[in-house]
Structure 1
Amino acid sequence: MNTSSLPLSAWITQQAARSAQLMQGGISATHLTKVRAVFGTAVHPAKGSVLASPVDAAWDPEPDYFFHWPRDAAHVMHALTVLAENARTTTARNKWNRHFSDIVDFSLKLNRQDGRAAAAAHKDRVKKTGKQFRQYLRPADALAAITSDTVQGEPRFDPDGRVSILKWAGPQYDGVAARAHACMDHMDFLKAQKLPVKANFVTLIRQDIEFTIRHADKECIGLWEEDNEYDHHYYTVAAQWAALSRAVDWARAQGDAALSEKCRIVGNQLARALEKHWQPQHSSYKYLRARPVHDVTDGLDSAIIMAANHGRQEGLRHSPMDD
């Protein structure tokens, strides 16, 4: 269909419906199998996993994005809440809510993972991997270092729920914060609709908030997942700040005054940390705090705009309305 003559509002409506349909194809895609023959693996997505892309590619030249990224999943979760809020039928609303609940269940399983099994199988994996591809395998010691204390910083997982054995830039700390934020928003929606809230929602939010507090404003890999950008990222700090700001009232409503106060204190620290990205000489924020800036365009990046949109801090600093 030729959409070039459609009014903008009509095009947006049409595209939103199509995007929702395509997005749904990556959620709980249990009917798919991804074979990575060069590594001797076959992956079957689990219920609740979110594929970054269901396309069967192998960098030939299309990228292999058949993974579950916590960051991407968090944004899908936010979209599911919007879809449920705007559903025209109870059936449609329940479908989106069910998808959300499945992702929560899967995310809790990810939080319980560690790298011991993958590390133990490393020698066998090397044997099964083509020689020219062994450079892409994570070393055994790197896998063994993944524990219950660090697993939430993993940038991506195989969609069957296992730790990825392939190298990727990490750790990353924005996805967990965004996931907690999405869960708190969805809890509010369920309560407003007088729908039951499963206890595992509270469990996941608490785990992700506590991890975010422990890793607030720590150096990490950012949104673009570049190995040479281990730094304080504006996008990451903004995601953490938004989640903890949201969690102040959430924790208080859960009867946890101590956690609420901790979120308030650390949230204020993150707000001050964001101001360290300000470049008064250029009247702009730079997306990497420590990297030197040589001219007005040097520190600019679309990640700053995305941080404002994804943070959903309406009317506050670092929001789309911040002048």
Structure 2
Amino acid sequence: MSMPAPLEDWIARQYRFSAQAMLEAVSATQITQIRPGFGQTVTPIKGSIVASPVLAAWDPDPDYFFHWFRDSAVVIDAIRVLHEDGTLGPEALGHFGDFVTFSLSLPHREPVTDRAKTKPDFAQYLRPEGEITAVSTRDVAAETRVNPDGTLDISRWSRPQHDGPALRLIAVLRWLSSEIPLDDGSRTKAIRLANSDIDFILRHLGEPAFDMWEEEQGQHYYTLRAEATALARAASWLQDAEKAEACRAAVSTLHRRLDGFWREKDGFYSSRLTGDPTKYLDISVIFAVIHADDTGPLHSIRDVRMLATLRKLEKLFDGLYVINQGRPENRAPAMGRFASDVYFSGGAYYFSTLAAAEFYFRFAAECTGDLARNYFAKGDAFLETVRAFTPESGELSEQFDRNTGQQVSAKKLAWSYAAFVTAIAARNSCDEVQ
């Protein structure tokens, strides 16, 4: 039996593949999705980012041919990372400019569907007409997702959701504050989009919204953490003193609320304050600090209570999934979302397992000596797990089955590739540890 290639070799190969595969979801204008049940044909326009470019119709794979506000923000941020490390050239700037233009154009007001063409058995999934016409341009970002042709989603879905505008604001401000040479048109539009997202967050601050998994409406750690970071960065960026002060005041309020998510008796940050207790321990909390990438002592990588939360999650999934039983010593547990997850296999997610890896790489960068090396090794252990369940092709779906390890759910998930890109970028920032 041949020995597996060194991890470094696999990382380099998978990184290149992930970068190109992720771009298949960006401005996928050559693909058309036909939804005969709704009498709908959707062809993406430039700047849209579909969650998955692989057409499906819940047959059994899910239809992810939508521009999710959260997922697209994660992808556009990963494109920045790829440009800064030299993997992508000037085309990255074009993708960002198109993304900003698309975002500002929402929603397009062409007819979204001919309701008369909806098949009778699909009528139950059709969104009420009044709900669609009530969507205002300034609040379209609460829609969770739109069609990649810029029209509103006509299906019943979990709305409103407020993490998307916050993540988009964080991503756009990173582009604006970087040394990337944006042209004047893209920069002007990006500033306009950033101000729009700031206004959205301030306008809806504290309102209940759906969690990042789009299952429960309420107050959620992930959303509040993203909003706090977005507004803190906005306050430093804004030249409007009054608006900047409003942002700072909101950040103080949000941090006080975030403190309330710590469950002392359980030893972890809860993903929510009410609702299903089986969802309290949820990987979304780890995503919150990774996506926010804040540097404060609390609610960040530096927060030892966050490390305790991740360890609780590791223990949970270690005992929950068959694929984690008897694993080699060099592999960490495959990670999912929360204990009661039943979506598809209710199993391991590539982006969840990569989030754990990225957390440990970022934590290693905050340490020195043996501690830094130990946490770096923890990150590599999660990469070994991803490697073990990645086919030779390099393709990453949304999940890999908790019992068999076979890929399930949406194929070629853009977020999975973006998560790989940012995890490796975090690993590369640990130069002194390697």
TM-score, L = length of structure 1: 0.88
Say whether the 8 Å CA contact 1:26–1:51 is kept in structure 2. Answer: yes
Match of 1:247 in 2: 234
Determine which of 194, 205, 224 is the counterpart of 1:237.
224
Determine which of 289, 292, 304 is the counterpart of 1:308.
289
How far has the Cα of 1:173 moved from its partner? Answer: 0.3
**One-letter code of the match for 1:235?**
Y
CA distance change for structure 1 residues 54 and 4 in 2, over 3 Å: closer, same or farther?
A: farther
Match of 1:58 in 2: 57
- Alpha-carbon separation, structure 2, partners of 1:289 and 1:15: 38
Say whether the 8 Å CA contact 2:93–2:182 is kept in structure 1. Answer: no
- Alpha-carbon separation, structure 2, partners of 1:305 and 1:44: 35
Determine which of 86, 92, 101 is the counterpart of 1:96.
92
Q: Give the 5 Å matches for 1:245-284.
A: 245-251=232-238, 255-284=239-268
Match of 2:66 in 1: 67
- Alpha-carbon separation, structure 1, partners of 2:150 and 2:195: 20
- Alpha-carbon separation, structure 1, partners of 2:276 and 2:42: 42
Q: Give the 5 Å matches for 1:104-183.
A: 104-110=100-106, 112-113=107-108, 117-118=111-112, 124-125=114-115, 127-183=116-172
Match of 1:10 in 2: 9
Match of 1:319 in 2: 300
How far has the Cα of 1:280 moved from its partner? Answer: 1.4
Match of 2:30 in 1: 31
**Identical residues among aligned pairs (%):** 40
How far has the Cα of 1:70 moved from its partner? Answer: 0.8
Determine helix, strand or coil for the equivalent of 2:253. Answer: helix
Q: CA RMSD in A?
A: 2.0
**One-letter code of the match for 2:173?**
M
TM-score, L = length of structure 2: 0.66
Say whether the 8 Å CA contact 1:154–1:171 is kept in structure 2. Answer: yes
**One-letter code of the match for 1:93?**
G
How far has the Cα of 1:145 moved from its partner? Answer: 1.9
- Alpha-carbon separation, structure 1, partners of 2:2 and 2:103: 38
Determine helix, strand or coil for the equivalent of 1:35. Answer: strand
- Alpha-carbon separation, structure 2, partners of 1:148 and 1:51: 20
CA distance change for structure 1 residues 183 and 298 in 2, over 3 Å: closer, same or farther?
A: closer
- Alpha-carbon separation, structure 1, partners of 2:51 and 2:288: 19
How far has the Cα of 1:8 moved from its partner? Answer: 2.6
Say whether the 8 Å CA contact 1:217–1:273 is kept in structure 2. Answer: no
User: Residues 256-297 of structure 1, C-alpha deviation per residue, up to 9 Å, x if partnerless?
Assistant: 11111111110111111111211111121111112375xxx6
- Alpha-carbon separation, structure 1, partners of 2:39 and 2:207: 36
- Alpha-carbon separation, structure 2, partners of 1:250 and 1:224: 30
- Alpha-carbon separation, structure 1, partners of 2:202 and 2:84: 30
Determine helix, strand or coil for the equivalent of 2:272. Answer: coil
Determine helix, strand or coil for the equivalent of 1:38. Answer: coil
How far has the Cα of 1:130 moved from its partner? Answer: 1.2
